[in-house]
Structure 1
Amino acid sequence: MARIASESLIERLAEWGVDTVFGLPGDGINGIMEGLRRHRDRVRFVLVHHEEAAAFMATAHAKATGRIGVCLATSGPGGIHLLNGLYDAKLDHVPVLAITGMQETSVLGTGYQQEVHLDRLYADVAEYNMMVTNPAQLPTLVDLAIRTSYARRGVSHITVPNDIQVADADAEPYRTVAPVRPPETAPVYLQPPGLPRRSDLERAAEVLNRAERPAMLVGQGALHAREEVLAVAEALQAPVVKTLLGKAVLPDESPYTTGGIGLLGTRPSEELMDDTDVLFMVGTNFPYSKFLPEQARVVQFEVEPTRAGSRIPTDVPVVCDAKEGLRALLPLLSRRDGSAHLAKYQKMMAKWRAEMEDLENPDRDPIAPQYAMSVLNQLATDDAILTCDSGTIATWAARHWTIRGGREFYMSGTLATMAPGLPYAIGIQHAFPGRQVIAYVGDGGFAMLMAEFLTAAQHRLPIKVIVNNNNSLGQILWEQMVLGFPEHGVRFAQPEADFSAWARSCGGFGAKITKSEDVAHAIGQALAHDGPALVDVDVNPNEPPMPGKVSYEQAKSFAQAFLKGQPHKAAIATTLFKDRIQKLGE
C-alpha cells in the first residue's frame, strides 16, 4: 500500500518520543486512524469513551511525565468535546498536542455536515494552531507544534482535512515558492538556559538576607527541586507554604512546611502570609492574590518571563528554572543557625495537625469524609500517585493526603474543572504501569465521565477509585451559604447512586460502604485487587469544607443563610458542633 500523509504525521510523533495517543475515532479522522494502525508498534492508541476524557488523559500524562501529551478527536463535535481538557492544560501550563479532523478541502465553506472550523474555535486555547493544506507540511508542522508546546508550556493544535490525511505522503500538489525542506531526522527541543543573571541573584540574595520573618511559597514549577527548596529553607530558616499543585514539592511532615494556602490551606499558612516581611515565590504565579501578603517585599523565581512579577508588586522578579536558580542562589545566602520565627510556625503546625487528626474520627455517623481520606492515606503505598477532582474532595485531599516518600498529587488547578480525577488516573497509569494510581473523586464529578471506568477495565489498568459520595454538589452548597443564600439545586434526589454496581458491571472490583467500620477493609481490598477497583463511600453530606481561617464576613453570611431557612440547619449545626470547626476561626 502507498504511504499516506497520516503515516508521516504518526512517524514524526514517534520520532519525538510520543508513545501514546488518547482519543476516539470518527469519520473525520479515519485516515489518521489508519496511520496509527500501520504504526501501532511505535505509537499506542488508547480508545476512550469521551473526547473530554482523552484531553484530560493527555494533560495528566504531560503533568506526570513532563513529556508532551497527545489527544485525538474527529471533526466537528469530537473536536469541540476536547476543549475542557485542553483548557485545563492551558491554565496549568502543561504541553499538550491536540490533533483533530476536518472536512475535505473541496467542501470547506459550504456548510457541510459537521463543518466546524476548529482552528478558529481553538484560537484562544492553542499557542500554536494550524490547519494542514499540503501533505508536505506535516513533519514540519508537527515539529513546530511540539516545540511551541514545550517552549510556551501550553496547547498546540493541528487539524487535518480528510483528503490530506489519505493523500500520498510525498505529494506536493502545488507549485510552491519555496519547497518544504524535510526536517532533521532526530527532532529535539532545545531547552532555554535556566540560570538567572548574576545581578538578579545578587539583588534577590540582598532582599532575602535582610528578611526578619521570611517565608517561601512554592508551586508546581518547583516539583523537580525538592532538595534545593529544602536547602534554601534551611539557610533562611523560612517556613514553606505549598500551592495545591505544588503539594508534592516537600513532604507534608517536613519541619519547614506550613502546608497549603487559600481556601483549602491551613491556618498557619494564612497567619504566615499576614506576618512575613519577605515572601520568596518559587515556581508559582499563585492566582489568588487576596491570600498573598499586602506589605511584604517579594522575590519571585519564575520560568516564564511574562509571568515574572505579574501577580503582586515584586521587588526582584527573576526569570529562571526553579532548580537551577535556587542552586545558584544558595551560596549567596547568609545562613542562620536558628529562628524563633520558624519555631513559632512549627508549633502552630503541630497544633493544626492535631486538629486535623481529631477530624479523622472513625466513630462518627454518617462517615466523616476526613476519616475515609485518612484510611486511604494510611493504606496507600509511599510512591502512590493521587489524582483528585474539584470540589469538597479537594479540601479533604489537601489536608488529609500526606506527601511522603515518592508520592505525587495531581488535579485541575487554575481551571478547577469537575471530572478530571478518573481520566487523570488512566492517563498516568499508562505512563507508570508499575505504580499505584488512585483517583479520589466526588459523586458529581465521577458521574460526568464514569464511562471511563469501563475504559480502565478494557485496557486492564489497575487504577483505584475512591468515591466521596455525599449525593450533592458539596462545594457549591457551601459557597451558596457563605454568600448568605439558602441552598438551591445542589442536592441530588433519591435514590442515591451506587457506583460500585457500575464498577462490578464493568468487570472490576466494587464496594458500597455506608458504615465507618467497613471503610478500611473495603479500601484495603480495592488496593490489593489486581485490576480496576472502586469503593463508593457514603459520607456525611453536611460536613463543611471550612477555610483554614474563618473571616468575620464568612461567618456572618453563613449565619444569614441559616436565618433564611437553610433546610438542613439542624444536621449542619450538629456536624459543626461535633467537629469543633468554630475553633478554626479563633
Structure 2
Amino acid sequence: MTTPTVSDFLVQRLKEWGVSRIFGFPGDGIGEFDGALGRADRRGDGLDYVRPTHEEVCALMAVAHAKFTGEVGVCVATSSPGAFHLINGLYDAKMDNQPVVAIVGQQGLASLGTFTQQENNLERAFSDVAAYVQTIVSPEQAQAVVDTAFRIAITRLQPTVIVLPHDVQGMAAVDPTPAHWVSRSSSGAPSAAILPPADEIARAAQIINAGQKVTFLVGAGARGATADVIRAAEISGAGIITALRGKDVVPSDVPHHTQQLGLLGSLPSLHQMQRCDTLVLLGTNYPYGEYLPKTGQARAIQVDLKPEHMGLRYPTEVNLWGDVRCTLAALIPLLDQKADLSWQHGIAEEMRGWEREMESQAMLTFDGGANPRRVFHELNKRLPVDAIVTADAGTTADWYGHHIRLRQGMRGDLSGLLATMLASMPYAMAAKFAYPERTVVCTIGDGAFQMLGMNELITLKKYLSGWSNPRFIIVVMHNDDLAQVTWEMRTEDGNPSWPASQDVESVDYAGWAELLGFRAVRLRTDEAVGAALDEAFAHPGVTLIDAYVSKNVPPLPPQITAEYAVNTAKALLKGDPNEFAVIRDSAEALAAEGLSRVKDALHLRRSTDTE
C-alpha cells in the first residue's frame, strides 16, 4: 500500500471540513497535490474538481460558491503566475466578507529566497488580501495550517491562503504526536451564531420602540434571517431597504421593501433615508455615506459580525456585535407593536408609484438599439420561481438594481464592494454547479464579456452534460461601449466620452455561441425583446442573447443633483462624440421620469384626500 503523502492528507482534510467541490487550474508547482486529487477521484472518494479557463475565474467561482451556498469556497492554482491570477478574486472575497481558502503551489523549500524560476515571496504577495497566509514547511505542520486556514476563513469571513511547496506536497504524511513546537489541531468548525449581551439588545429595542419613522437597511450579512427581518419590520412599522448584495434577503413582494439605495436605487429608498428618525443597519457595510441620513437626524443601531464595520458609515448609538438572525430573535420579543403604521403604508404607496415609473422608463424607445431597461424589465417578468440571476459591474448593475425583483426563493448576486468586471460569468457558473436543477441567468456587458466571459462559454460546453437542468441563459448587453465608465466620465468629472478608451470592438457574440453549439438569439429592437427571452426560457440548454442596446440611455439616479446635470452639460460642451444622441435620449428619459412623478404625486394626493 502506498504511503499517504501530505497532499493525500490535505485532500482528506478538505472533505472533513465539508468541502465537496474545488475550482482549480493545474501547473507543475501544484502537481503533487493534483496527483493526490486524481488518486482520490479514481478511488471514488475524491472532490468535484472544476477547471475553468483561467485562475482568476477559479477564485471568483470560489467566492460565488461561498455566497450562494454558505460553505467555504476553495480555489487551487500553481506557483507564482497561477497564484497571482487568484488575487483579484480573493479581494472580492475579502471585500464582500466571504470564507474562501486558496491553496497555491510553490517551488521547493531549497529554492525559497533564491530568485529561481517561478519562486516569489507568496506570503508577502498575499499578506494584504488574506486574513491568514502560511507556507507548510513540514508534514508535522500541515494539519495545523489547514485547520487554522479554515477556522479563520469561517469566523472572520475572509480569504485565507495555504502555500504548498512542491517537495512538501510529496512528503510522507505524519500524525502529529505530543512534542515541543508541534500543534495537534481539529477540523471542528466554530459556531458563528454570536449573540450580543442582553442589556445591549434591550437598549436597541428601546430606541426602535421610541422611533416613529423606522427604517431597516439590510445587507447580505442578514442572509438566513429573512423571516426575522420581516417580522421585526411588521412590529416596528419599519420600511425596508436592501443593499445591492442583500437584494434577495427580503422578497420583492414585501410592499414596504423599496429595493436599493443610491445611484442604482429607488426614490422611495432615498426618501426613507431623508425622513427616517431611526435607522437599523442589519448585516451591511453600505459604503455611500452621502445617501444616509444627516448627522443627528436619526438614532442608529447596527448589527454585524464584523466589529470593524460598526459605527463606521453613520454615528450609531448601539453596536451589536452578533449574528443578525440570533440577534433579531432576541430583539423581537422586546419590540412594541406600532399602532400607527402610516409611515410604512406611505412607503409602500410610494414604492408602487416607483414601479410604475420604472415601467415607463423601460417602455421608452431610443435610436441605436433596444432600450437596455426594456431587456431587464421583460427579463424580470419571466424569471421562474427558482431563478438565480447574476449581474456584472457596469450598467448591468444599474438595470439589475432598477428592474430585477427577486421573489421568495430566487437568488441574485454580484461583486459588491470590489465591483470587479467579468465576475458575472464565474458567479453564474458557480451557481449552476451548486444548484444544477435551477435556471441561471447571467447578465453582462460586452466589455466584461470580452474579458473572460467569452472564454467561459468553453467551460459551459465542457460541463453542461452533468447538470440535471441544463438551462443557462447569458444576456450580453451589446453596445460597443464601456457604458458605465462613459457615463461616469460625463456625470462625475464633466469629461466627454473618449473613444480611444471607451469603444469596445464589436464582436458577433451570438456567432461565437453558435460555434460552440449553443442556441443564440440576436436582439436588435424593443419589439423583439419579449420573444427573445421567451425563446431562451423555452430552450432546455444554453442560450446566449446578443442584445444590441443603445449606449446613450442614461443610468439615471433616483434624484438628479445639480452636480450631475452640470457635469453632463460640461461633458457635452467639450465635444462628446455622442452629444446629440445623449441629449435626445437623456431628455426623453428625464421627461418620462418627470411626467411619471407628477402622475404619482396626483395619485397620492387623491388617495390622501379620500382617507
Pairwise TM-score range, normalised by the shorter structure: over 0.9
Q: Shift of residue 528 of structure 1?
A: 3.1
Q: Secondary structure at the match of 1:526?
A: helix
Q: 1:183-215 deviations in whole A, cap 9, x for unaligned? A: 44xx22121442221111111111111112211
CA–CA distance in 1 between the matches of 2:280 and 2:265?
A: 18
Q: Shift of residue 136 of structure 1?
A: 2.5
Q: 1:517-547 deviations in whole A, cap 9, x for unaligned? A: 3322332332333333211101111011111
> Does the 8 Å contact 2:192/2:323 carry over to 1?
no
Letter in 1 for 2:7: S
CA–CA distance in 2 between the matches of 1:300 and 1:504?
A: 50
Q: Secondary structure at the match of 2:546?
A: strand
Letter in 1 for 2:9: S
CA–CA distance in 1 between the matches of 2:182 and 2:556?
A: 62
Q: 1:315-356 deviations in whole A, cap 9, x for unaligned? A: 111112111111211111111133222232222212111010
Matches within 5 A, 1:311-460: 311-361=313-363, 365=367, 366-449=369-452, 450-460=454-464
TM-score w.r.t. the length of structure 1 is 0.95
Structure 2: runs of 5 or more not aligned: 599-611
CA–CA distance in 1 between the matches of 2:496 and 2:181?
A: 66
> Does the 8 Å contact 2:300/2:317 carry over to 1?
yes
CA–CA distance in 2 between the matches of 1:205 and 1:179?
A: 48
> Does the 8 Å contact 2:113/2:121 carry over to 1?
no
Q: 1:22-41 deviations in whole A, cap 9, x for unaligned? A: 01101111111101101123
TM-score w.r.t. the length of structure 2 is 0.92
Q: Please, which moves more after superposition, 203-212 or 54-63?
A: 203-212
Q: Shift of residue 566 of structure 1?
A: 1.8
> Does the 8 Å contact 1:474/1:490 carry over to 2?
no
1:260 corresponds to: 260
CA–CA distance in 2 between the matches of 1:170 and 1:332?
A: 54
> Does the 8 Å contact 2:79/2:118 carry over to 1?
yes
CA–CA distance in 1 between the matches of 2:478 and 2:340?
A: 46
Letter in 1 for 2:481: S
Letter in 2 for 1:8: F
Q: Secondary structure at the match of 2:140?
A: helix
Q: Please, which moves more after superposition, 270-279 or 358-367?
A: 358-367
Figure out how many residues of one structure are paired with residues of the other and give that number. Answer: 581
Q: 1:198-251 deviations in whole A, cap 9, x for unaligned? A: 111111111111112211111101121111111111111111111001101212
Letter in 2 for 1:326: L
Matches within 5 A, 1:427-576: 427-449=430-452, 450-460=454-464, 462=470, 463-482=472-491, 483-488=493-498, 489-492=500-503, 496-576=506-586
Q: Does 1:45 align with 2:49?
A: yes
Q: 1:112-169 deviations in whole A, cap 9, x for unaligned? A: 1111221110000101110010022222211111010000000010010110111122
Q: Does 1:224 align with 2:224?
A: yes
Q: Secondary structure at the match of 2:224?
A: coil
Matches within 5 A, 1:120-269: 120-170=124-174, 177-181=180-184, 183-184=185-186, 187-269=187-269
CA–CA distance in 2 between the matches of 1:21 and 1:240?
A: 36
1:86 corresponds to: 90
> Does the 8 Å contact 2:444/2:475 carry over to 1?
yes
CA gap of 1:317–1:178, structure 2 versus 1, over 3 A, is: closer
> Does the 8 Å contact 1:468/1:537 carry over to 2?
yes
CA gap of 1:544–1:247, structure 2 versus 1, over 3 A, is: same
Letter in 2 for 1:84: N
CA gap of 1:133–1:303, structure 2 versus 1, over 3 A, is: same
2:604 corresponds to: none
Q: Please, which moves more after superposition, 392-401 or 33-42?
A: 33-42
Q: Shift of residue 310 of structure 1?
A: 2.4
CA gap of 1:446–1:188, structure 2 versus 1, over 3 A, is: same
CA–CA distance in 2 between the matches of 1:327 and 1:37?
A: 46
Q: Does 1:20 align with 2:24?
A: no
Q: Shift of residue 176 of structure 1?
A: 6.8
> Does the 8 Å contact 2:247/2:260 carry over to 1?
yes
CA gap of 1:126–1:581, structure 2 versus 1, over 3 A, is: farther
CA RMSD of aligned residues (A): 1.9
2:273 corresponds to: 273
Letter in 2 for 1:168: A
Q: 1:342-380 deviations in whole A, cap 9, x for unaligned? A: 232222212111010112227655211111112221222
Q: Please, which moves more after superposition, 232-241 or 522-531?
A: 522-531
Structure 1: runs of 5 or more not aligned: none
- Could you list the runs of 4 or more consecutive aligned residues of structure 1 that deviate by over 3 angstroms after TM superposition? 174-181, 362-365
Which structure carries more helix by proportion? 2
2:605 corresponds to: none
Q: Please, which moves more after superposition, 280-289 or 440-449?
A: 280-289
Matches within 5 A, 1:101-116: 101-116=105-120
Q: Shift of residue 490 of structure 1?
A: 4.5
Letter in 2 for 1:200: E
CA–CA distance in 2 between the matches of 1:374 and 1:348?
A: 19
> Does the 8 Å contact 1:457/1:531 carry over to 2?
no
